[in-house]
Amino acid sequence: MAIYHLSVSNVSRASGSKATATLSYISGRRVHDERRGETYDYGRKERVLRVGTLLPEGAPAEYADPAVLFNAVELHETGRTARPAKKIVVALPREFTPRQRVQALEEYIRENLNADGYAATYAIHDDGRGNNPHAHILVANRQIDPATGGWARLKQRMEYVLDERGERVPLIDPETGRQKTDKRGRRQWKRTSVSLNPLDRKAKLKALRESWANTCNARLDETARIDHRSLEDQGSDLEPTIHEGYAARAIERAGGVSERCQTNREIRRSNSLLTAVRAELGRIFDRLGELFAAKIGRLRRRQARPEPAEPNWRYFEGDARRQLEADKADHTAAIRGKLMDARADVGNREEWWRSHGTEEHEAAKQIIDVARAASREARDANIFKRGRLLRNAEQVAGEQSERLRGAVPWLEDADIPADWDQANRFRMRTTKAIYDHDMQPRTRLVAELERRLEQAERAESERPSPEQVKALALRMAEQRAQAENPTQDTKRPAPSGDEPLDLSEPEDWGEASPFESRQAPRTKADLLNEIRQRTDSLTGQREAEQRQIDPWSAQPPQRRGHGR
């Protein structure tokens, strides 16, 4: 019976592993390490059934030799803790023929590794007796650039650490408890190293596990399918077995009893008993369901009443689909209009800032300028007055800092420096902080509307689902049936004039409906309003014509002043 197994491990230089040594082990060949000047030959050639190397697009032709390939990646990775390769071990289903094993492995490597720019060598093994078929896949842990044929440059980069709100996390000085700054007074933020290697990401590893199950299942019968999910993810409470390993199986073959193999036998025995109990309970519940269904069927036949037939909703299917598409288009247009207004608001606010500013900004400038004046006076004073004026500048800076906290209470850094140059830089930072605080709600609204617009455009590009079309078509059919035969529903309230009129046309002849461009169903009230508007328009036209014929009859002239 086919089993699922896939494990991924690093060939790490820090733990003493080498890609060339691993290649020698899985391929059973003699491999020379050019970086260290050593030669590896681990033997066990009788277990190796096939070795192959698959290269991505743009890779050098000499990399088809696995020894050249992994010597190249070993020479390229110079760090003491480098990880030049990764090793993937998969269990091959016993149901596969030798040809199917090679086909499944090469298809898996091309779709999941070569497609992302990785070169890989695989080796198919068994235990020498045709049992335990499995494969080792050795992957160069750096992508190949298809444009140059060389190794990709970056495997990681530094990025800012963001909090739950998506904002940068400040770097705090443990001695002062404040955010650190560099020599130029710029605030410092936490950063972390982020791997750019897809093979280091959890999502890629999950995709590798799922893809191997799909590749095998495409060649297996339905009764022998494998599942990459754990028993917990499958919703099963069966107890999983443990990994036995080569040593435990060797003990069993020699006639001994391995503790791991004995544990697995007990787990399989308890799981088979639990499965049998569940199967018996399933048969019992199925029989009870049949009995209940028969009883309910007899009761229904006794109390049978004619049920109304489902309306012919296919008649309204075209109008329903167009109505749904029009609703999505209107929703997208509404969001696009709001986004344009929000962007215009941001532009207007920026223009206002360039010409006016805000009350908080003006108040903060006046407060800081008082401290700047004192610091400038101290800077320009002679040596006899400078000490007294410096103390005065510090006192004024402290007083103005308190005033600044009262005027701008949300400002994080409100301590005005007593030094002239630092006070100038503080004034610029405060202006930037007030500007960001004032513009943040508007820019955040623009970002939110852009996200909603992207979702709406994606939904608009998708066709309405058959369930949505059928539901709306059924409502239209019911409205038409109630309008044509109101006596069928005695509980229906008196018509108010706002009921939608169904103006749809059949599309059985392949012709477009004459109401295809209609955005929403029209009501009786809409028709009455249109008639009233047309009547008023005709009346106004007639009055205008009458005035043109005899303008004095419409309005007598108003004489002003004293006339004779």
Q: Are 260 and 127 in contact (CB under 8 A)?
A: no
The pLDDT assigned to 350 comes to 86
Instruction: Residue 107: name the closest of 78, 128, 144, 137 by CA.
Output: 137
Average pLDDT over residues 154-169: 75
Cα 45 from Cα 132, distance rounded (Å) = 16
| Torsion sign, CA atoms 59, 62, 65, 67 | negative
Spell out a b/e string for 264-283, using b for 16 or more CB atoms within 10 Å of the CB, else e.
Answer: beeeeeebeeeeeeeeeeee
Residue 305 has pLDDT above 70, yes or no: no
Q: How many Cβ atoms are within 10 Å of 24's Cβ, its own excluded?
A: 23
Please, which residues have CB within 8 angstroms of residue 58's CB and are 6 or more apart in sequence?
144, 145, 146, 147, 148, 149
Q: Which residue has the higher pLDDT, 20 or 553?
A: 20
pLDDT (tens digit per residue) in 279-293: 888 888 888 888 888
pLDDT (tens digit per residue) in 85-118: 999 999 999 888 999 999 999 999 999 999 989 9
Cα 242 from Cα 525, distance rounded (Å) = 74
The one-letter code for the residue type at 343 is: R
| Torsion sign, CA atoms 33, 34, 36, 37 | positive
Which token pair is 380? 């320009």
Q: How many Cβ atoms are within 10 Å of 69's Cβ, its own excluded?
A: 25
Instruction: Residue 518: name the closest of 342, 334, 389, 330 by CA.
Output: 330
The pLDDT assigned to 542 comes to 62
Alpha helices in 6-85 (DSSP H): 19-27, 66-76
The pLDDT assigned to 558 comes to 46
The pLDDT assigned to 299 comes to 80
pLDDT-derived band at 563 (thresholds 50, 70, 90) equals very low
Instruction: Residue 393: name the closest of 415, 419, 426, 369 by CA.
Output: 419
Phi/psi region, residue 132 (left: phi>0; alpha: psi -120 to 50; beta: rest), is left
Average pLDDT over residues 204-222: 89
Q: Are 27 and 66 in contact (CB under 8 A)?
A: yes
Q: How many Cβ atoms are within 10 Å of 177's Cβ, its own excluded?
A: 7
Q: Which residue has the higher pLDDT, 134 or 307?
A: 134
Q: Which residue has the higher pLDDT, 421 or 493?
A: 421
Number of H helices and E strands in the chain, helices first, is 13, 9
pLDDT (tens digit per residue) in 452-477: 999 988 888 888 888 888 888 888 88
Collapse the DSSP code of 485 into the 3-class scheme (helix H, G, I; strand E, B; otherwise coil) and give the result: coil
Cα 40 from Cα 29, distance rounded (Å) = 8
Residue 187 is given by DSSP the state B
pLDDT-derived band at 140 (thresholds 50, 70, 90) equals very high
Q: Which residue has the higher pLDDT, 521 or 82?
A: 82
By mean pLDDT, which of 384-393, 436-445, 532-541 is the weakest?
Answer: 532-541
pLDDT-derived band at 537 (thresholds 50, 70, 90) equals confident
Which token pair is 561? 């002043």
Cα 20 from Cα 214, distance rounded (Å) = 31
Cα 23 from Cα 138, distance rounded (Å) = 7
Q: How many Cβ atoms are within 10 Å of 229's Cβ, its own excluded?
A: 13
Q: Which residue has the higher pLDDT, 48 or 244?
A: 48
Which residue has tokens 């360039």? Answer: 354
The one-letter code for the residue type at 256 is: G
pLDDT (tens digit per residue) in 30-73: 999 999 999 998 867 778 899 999 999 999 999 999 999 999 99
pTM of the model: 0.44
Instruction: Residue 415: name the closest of 433, 400, 434 by CA.
Output: 400
The pLDDT assigned to 555 comes to 44
Which token pair is 357? 């500013």
As a whole number, the mean pLDDT across the chain is: 81
Residue 503 has pLDDT above 60, yes or no: no
Go through the chain and tell me how many residues it has: 564
Residue 276 has pLDDT above 90, yes or no: no
Which token pair is 145? 């650039």
pLDDT-derived band at 123 (thresholds 50, 70, 90) equals very high
Cα 405 from Cα 398, distance rounded (Å) = 11
* Percentage of the chain lying above the pLDDT 90 cut: 21
> For residues 96, 102, 107 and 110, what is the CA-based torsion angle, rounded to 10 degrees?
150
